[in-house]
Amino acid sequence: MAQPERKRAEFLALCDVVALALEELERAGQLDDDRPWLALGVVRRWSQGEATDDEVDEASEQVTEVSAFRDEGASAAAYSAVDWLCLGAQDGSLDDELQGWVLQRSADVLVALGETPEAARSRVDVVHRAGVARAQG
């Protein structure tokens, strides 16, 4: 499998992980803005070659703007995960640091909402692996 295809699959899988975090945040009544969902949609479309770099830049600016007002807790962690994903898409890079931050911040959302760290990490890992398999599939 070519590197661009692996990178595409990984970005799509990370989108699935961030979607899990946003869904849980929304379920807890702590998501008060649609910009994280909109930005996630742009990154997903960009990963599939359906959005431009300019669209990613705009989405990143929107998320950065709204995340600046989140200091801690589940909401801050979720916005941070989206922000990291946007930053990776902006420069087209996908390295261990980016992947680690997106996975960790997504797990942090679940922990802030009451899951144990082990359960949160396990759930994030399951969604991530399933996302990679689906995207490659």
pLDDT at 13 over 80: yes
- Quote the domain boundaries for residue 45: 3-136
Residue at 10: amino acid letter: E
Q: Which residue did the predictor score with more confidence, 34 or 68? A: 34
Q: Which two tokens stand for residue 91?
A: 């420069």
Torsion sign over Cα 34, 39, 45, 48:
negative
pLDDT at 27 over 80: yes
| pLDDT per residue as tens digits for the range 45-83 | 999 889 988 999 999 888 887 766 666 789 889 988 998
Q: How many domains does the chain have?
A: 1
* Contact yes or no for 85/18 (Cβ under 8 A): yes
